[in-house]
Amino acid sequence: MTPSDALSSAAADCPRFAVVGGGISGLSAAHRLRELAPRCRLEVWEASGRLGGPLDTGSDHGFWWERGADSFTTKLPAARQLCERLGLDGAVLPTQPRQRRALVVCRGRLAPVPEGFVLMRPQQAAGILRSSVLSVRGKLRLLCEPLVPRHAGAGLPGHDESVASFATRRLGREAFERLVQPLLGGIYVADASRLSLAATMPEFLHAERDYGSLWRAPVQESPGVAAEAAAARANVASEPDGGAAQGARYHAFVTLKEGLSMLPAALEAALPAGTVRRHAAVRSIERCGAGGWLLAGVDSRTRAPLDEARYDGVVLATPAPQAAALLDKTDPQTAQLLRRIEYASSVVVNLGYEPRQFSRPLGGFGFVVPEIEGLTIVAASFPSIKFAYRSSAELTPIRVFLGGAKQPETIAWSDARLIEAARRDLEPLVGIQGDPQTAEVARWPESMPQYHVGHVQLVDAIEQRIGCLPRLRLAGNAYRGVGIPQCVESGWRAAEALAEAFRDGSGSGAAA
């Protein structure tokens, strides 16, 4: 940070800022505000008793295991930069080099994703032809992708299309159902027929527009939103040693030695004591004075009202529906736009087995499940293969994912039913015999924003309206990316816009 980055003491005069939401976006915003305005008075309001949202690590049986996200990409720099600034660089762990490959369930068995097939892009004809995932007809249809004409609207500004429509049109229905849907729809726990390609992987729209084919387009090193979402959700696709890429480029994904909970813990430790207010649920936010905001809330445990507090600026780092509820009176039009962002729920079941219970070795980082297989689980990952410090001599963990937009009812199932469903689908696929030695369920209700077709334009409209509100900004995974680096960047942008608006006294400035 250069001296010009920070607010001058004369201009700042010890401003008071609030961040509503103690997830990674909110904590990143708070940390950046302290960098930009070291003398500011800052409070983080968190409705629960825990920080970090889906960054939630447990420790048992001599190893670390994750209840939510388990890694992030280094190709998007923000999360890695934040680790360096917090002194966590020495704790960063890459994926283990052996068995870096993606698997997919195919007719009741696990099969490798075809070599050279990355998310939705075919890159190697030989790998496609050797694959057991597609039929001969499906392979030939995929190889004919360069002959498919461009979409009629491909060159129009703001053009968007669903993942299902695009993939089926260009690659064929079998390639969509067997490969694209599980790799992408499952990553977002989304309905692929509604999932926006422009919001998740615009590079594929550009490939069709500029080159007329996914085969002919050059490989882009910068990952789209989906590549980071893969790490945040299923963490199962990778790149085999010495071979062509499969699924996603997982050599670029990393974690932290003692789990991703290290990140919110380090962020809180970097803030002044007393900055974070746990169990403080904001119930209303109102304009007061020239650019000020009045926050009122309750203790989420006792429902007792908390003292109202006035702030010079606010970052709302909550899910979009909560932000909408808070803005209902101040800006009902923005609130209405925010409510158009729908959410899906998911479940992570962590199971631990003794090594002797496996009849064969685990053959990769994990697997995804096509909808047409008729299973309940969406995906599973093998932490002991993917990262060091994720297993012991006594137990081998497996993470199983359920729920999503296509199975919303699973979030309400009992722990026993979820564990039974996970075991029923998992154990025959990987050759496990006997009961797990440990099992834990982590529910994530309404945690995954759904980037439906038109999401980019919707967020543009939200940001335009928010940019007109004095000294209030949005941050979070609902807008420009669901992965950890995008969330960090979202918090930084909100903090920088807020600090700039306060410095120049305009109350406007760049949108969140």
For residue range 356-368, what is the model confidence (pLDDT) as tens digits? 999 999 989 999 9
pLDDT of residue 502: 78
Per the confidence metrics, is the pTM higher than 0.75? yes
pLDDT digits 0-9 by tens, 426-463? 999 999 999 999 999 999 999 999 999 999 999 999 99
Two structure tokens written together for 57: 């690590």
What element of type H or E holds 442? strand 438-449
Would you kindly state where each structural domain of the chain is located, as residue ranges?
Answer: 9-52+261-341+452-504, 63-97+342-449
What's the CATH fold of domain 63-97+342-449?
Answer: Polyamine Oxidase; Chain A, domain 2 (3.90.660)
pLDDT of residue 121: 87
Residue 467 CA neighbour count, 13 Å, CB half: 11
The three-state secondary structure class of 87 is coil
* Residue 17: partners with Cβ closer than 8 Å, 6 or more residues away: 33, 37, 40, 41, 42, 43, 311, 312, 313, 314, 315, 498
Q: Measured in whole angstroms, how far is the alpha carbon of residue 198 from the centre of its chain?
A: 17
DSSP structure string for 163-229: HHHHHHHHH-HHHIIIIIIIIIITTTTS-TTTBBHHHH-HHHHHHHHHHS-TTTSPPPSS--HHHHH
Length of the chain: 512
What pLDDT was estimated at residue 229? Answer: 47
Compute φ and ψ for 349, nearest 5 degrees: -110, 115
User: What residue spans of 313-470 are helical by DSSP H?
Assistant: 320-327, 332-338, 383-386, 415-430, 455-466
Cβ(498)–Cβ(473) under 8 Å?
Answer: yes
Question: Backbone phi, then psi, for 160, in 5-degree steps?
Answer: -145, 160
Whether the per-residue pLDDT at 507 is higher than 90: the answer is no
Q: What is the pLDDT of residues 370-389, one digit of tens each?
A: 999 999 999 999 999 999 99
- Lowest mean per-residue pLDDT among 5-14, 143-152, 174-183, 470-479: 5-14
The pLDDT of residue 415 is above 90: yes
The confidence score (pLDDT) of residue 315 equals: 98
* Residue 144 confidence (pLDDT) above 90: yes
- Confidence bin at 233 (pLDDT 50/70/90): very low
- pLDDT band per the 50, 70, 90 thresholds, residue 116: confident
Judge whether 76 and 52 are in contact, CB under 8 Å: no
CATH 3.40.640.10 fits 9-52+261-341+452-504, yes or no: no
C-alpha span between 448 and 141 (Å, rounded): 33
Which letter does DSSP use for residue 419 in this model?
H
pLDDT band of residue 97 (cuts 50, 70, 90) is confident
3-class secondary structure, 126: helix
Percent of the chain scored above 90 by pLDDT?
80
d(CA 263, CA 257): 11
**Continuous H helices in 376-447:** 383-386, 415-430
> Distances from the Cα of 488 to the Cαs of 28, 127, 144, 416, in angstroms?
6, 37, 40, 35
Confidence bin at 510 (pLDDT 50/70/90): very low
Helix or strand (DSSP H, E) at 268: helix 262-270
Give the pLDDT score at 1: 44
